[in-house]
Amino acid sequence: MNELLSLLLSLLRNQLPQYTEIYPSFDAVPVSSKSRKLFLVVSPQCFRLSQAFPDGSAGIAPFTADFRISLLAPLMTPNDKLLEFFYTSLVPALHSANCFLYEMQSDVPKPDLQLQKLVYSASFRIKGLYLPDSQQEVVS
């Protein structure tokens, strides 16, 4: 799961260079030190590995991984700006990187008064193949 999270973070940083502040949910950087504009937080939610099928060596195992991606912005940001970024930048970035984006479910933008941010989140399900002999995931 850590390798897959690293792959997803790298992919987003490469596809969204104007928004270089993309963090895993468990980093040690306080929100107050993060961008005063937009930034993304990627949270791994679930990883499911299915029974492997033979491929001549160790086998190939299908997997699904669920991630929650949250866009945080200043409280006064108009909702339509968050939605525009999400659907014209973030979702196409995931598609353009050959991710098999199986499913997506989004919330409505909500203010988080403790963080002093407006938060728009969506859950993404990615499908792929795990190749045990090469110790890598193939997102397809």
- 6-to-34, 95, 140 alpha-carbon distances in Å: 19, 17, 16
CATH fold of 2-139 = STM4215-like (3.30.2000)
How confident is the model over 20-50, as pLDDT tens digits? 688 888 877 777 777 778 888 899 999 888 8
Using alpha carbons only, give the angle 92, 96, 101 rounded to the nearest 5 degrees.
Answer: 75
Cα gap 95→90, rounded to integer Å: 9
Which residue intervals of 26-128 are DSSP H helices? Answer: 79-85, 91-96
Q: Encoding tokens for residue 91? A: 């979702």
How much is the pLDDT for 100?
63
Q: For all residues of the chain together, what is the average pLDDT?
A: 80
Stated pTM of the model: 0.77
Long-range pairs of 49-57 with CB within 8 A, sequence gap ≥ 24: 49/130, 52/132, 57/133
How confident is the model over 78-114, as pLDDT tens digits? 988 888 888 888 888 887 665 666 677 888 889 988 8
Instruction: Answer yes or no: is pLDDT of 136 > 60.
Output: no
For the chain, give every domain's residue range. Answer: 2-139
